Amino acid sequence: MLAHVAAAYGGFAMVTSPKTQTETLEPVMVGIPEGWFGMGCETGRDDEKPVHRVWVDAFEIAVYQVTNAEYGCFLATTGGAVPPCWKDANFNDPKMPVVAVSWHEAASYCEWLSGVTGKRYRLPSEAEWERAARGGAEGFLYPWGDAPPDMVPDYDKRWKLGPEPVGLYGPNAYGIYNLGDNVHEWCADWYDDGYYGRSPERNPLGPKSGTRKASRGGSWRHHIKVTRTAARSSIPPEFQYADYGFRIARSLTA
């Protein structure tokens, strides 16, 4: 199958994943323990308030954003459309995060991966994403603490024309890379700017419907390229932006 993938999708599936250094479909995951945490930021935007205590069950989240190489395997077996950015050298390195995929395409990838591995993968909820990004710490603005973004190593040299390959710089306290930078990451939830005022305490999943899907994380093309842990964003689920990718999660209970 891999030879077919290479011929049809630019060789992406033949490139060894930066995550595992082996040709495998299963991503490296890290376990996030169950527990309470303070979700939101009182000094942030209105949609980040109020800060509220949230319980999240234990789950697993991918150490890296889904790459072009991994997404190429998905396309080869499903016949999906190639992301438009793959024609541009600033976006088509196999180790870069796949971008310009809609929320629906990201969800389809999770369904496909679940089918071929026998494990139930999905997009993370906003609450899960923020708990993972905080790395077990409370109250800090960023995954590393309160130091401003321009203190990030090589900040002024990175992300000139597109995203960078995943995992080039250090992880957070849970061992997860690129939380808060590189590309926005789709979440499972519908977005509602007033949701925090009525969110349930345990395992919030967002409103039942909406017009925009929630996303988290920073963006290579923003003026400030690294975002705060509590910062929220959203776009309609059918949009395909060149700074939107995703990472996957997995429940540990049925």
Per-residue pLDDT tens over the stretch 41-85: 999 999 999 999 999 999 999 999 999 999 999 999 999 999 999
Q: How far apart are CA 161 and CA 75, in angstroms?
A: 25
- pLDDT score at 152: 80
Mean pLDDT score, 117-139: 96
Q: Does 110 have pLDDT greater than 80?
A: yes
Q: Which amino acid belongs to residue 113?
A: L
Token pair 């609450």 is found at 127
| Burial of residue 124, with CB atoms counted within 10 A of its CB: 0-12 exposed, 13-18 middle, 19 or more buried | buried
- Residue 143's nearest CA partner among 183, 165, 176, 97 is 176
- pLDDT score at 145: 86
Q: Does 149 have pLDDT greater than 50?
A: yes
Q: How far apart are CA 170 and CA 186, in angstroms?
A: 22
Per-residue pLDDT tens over the stretch 153-189: 888 888 889 999 999 999 999 999 999 999 999 999 9
Q: Does 237 have pLDDT greater than 60?
A: yes
Q: Tell me if 19 sits within 8 A of 63, measured CB to CB.
A: yes
The pair of three-digit structure tokens given for residue 101, joined into one six-digit string: 């995929």
- pLDDT score at 24: 66
The domains located in the chain, with CATH, are: 2-251 (3.90.1580.10)
Mean pLDDT score, 128-151: 91
Taking all residues of the chain, what is their mean pLDDT, rounded to a whole number? 90
pLDDT bracket for residue 16 (50, 70, 90): very low
- pLDDT score at 39: 98
The β-bridge relationship of strands 59-62 and 249-251 is antiparallel
